[in-house]
Amino acid sequence: NAGVTQTPKFRVLKTGQSMTLLCAQDMNHEYMYWYRQDPGMGLRLIHYSVGEGTTAKGEVPDGYNVSRLKKQNFLLGLESAAPSQTSVYFCASKRLIETEAFFGQGTRLTVV
């Protein structure tokens, strides 16, 4: 049972490039989330999804887009990367009736 898996683990982008981060969970969880972690800021919610085909904005959504075409996958896209998007990105998922969320191992993204 892999839990929550993020791909890739590391990436360096040039300003203006685009990329997609993939999150996959095998626990049949309804909810999925994308967070970013920055020094002194904790984890901040970017976007989330309460089910297949539905997404919503979190605290810091600007510059990101998401899609959830399949229940097990939640994609985070950067259309035109900026240095301010240098961060560690975490995906999480949880069941509808529970409060505890399970996290992936993170993706370290550097935009130069």
Partner 1 sequence: DQQVKQNSPSLSVQEGRISILNCDYTNSMFDYFLWYKKYPAEGPTFLISISSIKDKNEDGRFTVFLNKSAKHLSLHIVPSQPGDSAVYFCAASARLSSGSARQLTFGSGTQLTVLP
**Rule CB under 8 A: which residues touch partner 1?**
4, 31, 33, 35, 40-45, 48, 50, 56, 58, 90, 92, 96, 99-106
Burial of 75 (0-12, 13-18, 19+ CB in 10 A): buried
Nearest distance from C-beta of residue 16 to partner 1, angstroms: 28
Residue 37 or 73 with smaller CB distance to partner 1: 37
Residue 17 or 67 with smaller CB distance to partner 1: 67
Nearest residue to 91 via CA among 79, 80, 109, 1 = 109
